[in-house]
Structure 1
Amino acid sequence: MAPQETDANGVLFEHDVETKDAALAKTPVQQAGDEKWETHYVWHIIIFVPLVYISGVYGGYLFLVSATWQTKIFTIFLYVSSLLSVTAGAHRLWSHKAYKAKWPLQLILTFFHTSALQYSVINWVRDHRMHHKYADTDADPHNSQRGFFFSHVGWLMVGKHLEFERKSMGLDISDVEANPILQFQRKYYVILVTIICFILPTIIPVYFWNETWINAILVPGMFHRFCVYNAIGFVNSALHKWGYKPYDKDMAASEIHLFNYLLLGESAHNYHHAFPWDYRTSELGISTTFSLTTAFINLFARIGWAYDLKTISDDIIRKRVMRTGDGSHQIWGWDDKDE
Structure 2
Amino acid sequence: MTETESRSQHGEKRQNGDAATEVSTVEDVFDDTFKNKDGPKPPRIPVWRNIILMSLLHVAALYGLTLAPSASAPTLVWSTVCYLISALGVTAGAHRLWSHRTYKASVPLSIFLASANSMAFQNDIYEWARDHRVHHKYSETDADPHNATRGFFFSHIGWLLVRKHPDVIEKGRKLDLSDLKADKVVMFQRRHYKMSVLIFCFLVPTLVPWYFWGESLLVAYFVPGLLRYAVVLNATWLVNSAAHMWGMRPYDKTINPRENPLVAISAMGEGFHNYHHTFPFDYATGEFGWKLNLTTAFIDLMCFLGLATDRKMVSKATVHARVQRTGDGSNKSG
Fold match, TM over 0.5? yes
Q: Does residue 280 of structure 1 match 2:284?
A: yes
Aligned mates of 2:163, 2:70 — CA distance in 1:
39
Tell me the residue number matched to 2:144: 140
Tell me the residue number matched to 1:320: 322
Aligned mates of 1:253, 1:219 — CA distance in 2:
32
Aligned mates of 1:252, 1:34 — CA distance in 2:
24
Tell me the residue number matched to 1:223: 227
Q: Where in structure 1 are there 5+ consecutive unaligned residues?
A: 16-31, 333-339
Give the alignment partner of residue 294 of structure 1, picking from 293, 296, 302: 296
Q: Does residue 244 of structure 1 match 2:253?
A: no
Q: Is the 8 A contact 1:117 1:193 kept in 2?
A: yes
Aligned mates of 1:10, 1:262 — CA distance in 2:
29
Tell me the residue number matched to 1:205: 209
Amino acid at match of 1:181: V
Aligned CA distance change for structure 1 residues 100 and 70 (closer, same or farther; 3 Å): same
Q: CA deviation at 1:7?
A: 8.3
Aligned mates of 1:95, 1:14 — CA distance in 2:
8
Amino acid at match of 1:71: T
Tell me the residue number matched to 2:257: 253
Q: Is the 8 A contact 1:244 1:328 kept in 2?
A: yes
Amino acid at match of 2:127: N
Q: CA deviation at 1:260?
A: 2.4
Aligned mates of 1:309, 1:263 — CA distance in 2:
20
Give the alignment partner of residue 43 of structure 1, picking from 48, 51, 58: 48
Tell me the residue number matched to 2:20: none
Q: Percent identity?
A: 45
Q: Deviations over 1:221-242 (max 9, x none)?
A: 1110111011001000000111
Q: Does residue 58 of structure 1 match 2:60?
A: no
Q: CA deviation at 1:131?
A: 0.4
SS in 2 for 1:261: helix
Tell me the residue number matched to 2:271: 267
Aligned mates of 1:102, 1:239 — CA distance in 2:
31
Q: CA deviation at 1:204?
A: 1.7
Aligned CA distance change for structure 1 residues 182 and 212 (closer, same or farther; 3 Å): same
Q: Deviations over 1:237-295 (max 9, x none)?
A: 00011110000011110011133221111111100000011111101112xx2411011
Q: Is the 8 A contact 1:43 1:157 kept in 2?
A: yes
Aligned mates of 2:139, 2:66 — CA distance in 1:
37
Q: Does residue 118 of structure 1 match 2:111?
A: no
Aligned CA distance change for structure 1 residues 138 and 261 (closer, same or farther; 3 Å): same
Aligned mates of 2:264, 2:128 — CA distance in 1:
22
Aligned mates of 2:284, 2:6 — CA distance in 1:
20
Amino acid at match of 1:225: Y
Amino acid at match of 1:9: Q
Alignment of 1:143-154 (within 5 A): 143-154=147-158
Amino acid at match of 2:75: T
**TM-score normalised according to structure 1 size:** 0.87
Q: CA deviation at 1:205?
A: 1.4
Q: Deviations over 1:15-38 (max 9, x none)?
A: 8xxxxxxxxxxxxxxxx9998834
Aligned mates of 1:6, 1:124 — CA distance in 2:
27
Q: Is the 8 A contact 2:8 2:277 kept in 1?
A: no
Tell me the residue number matched to 2:33: none
Q: CA deviation at 1:44?
A: 1.7
Q: CA deviation at 1:206?
A: 1.3
Q: Is the 8 A contact 2:156 2:237 kept in 1?
A: yes
Aligned mates of 2:148, 2:165 — CA distance in 1:
13
Q: Does residue 72 of structure 1 match 2:82?
A: no
SS in 2 for 1:254: coil
Q: CA deviation at 1:41?
A: 2.2
Aligned CA distance change for structure 1 residues 266 and 34 (closer, same or farther; 3 Å): closer
Q: Is the 8 A contact 2:9 2:280 kept in 1?
A: yes
Amino acid at match of 1:259: V
Aligned mates of 1:13, 1:305 — CA distance in 2:
21
Q: Deviations over 1:64-122 (max 9, x none)?
A: x1001111011000101111111111111111111111110000000010000111000
Q: CA deviation at 1:58?
A: 2.2
Tell me the residue number matched to 2:309: 307
Tell me the residue number matched to 1:26: none
Amino acid at match of 1:140: D
**TM-score normalised according to structure 2 size:** 0.88
Amino acid at match of 1:297: I
SS in 1 for 2:174: coil
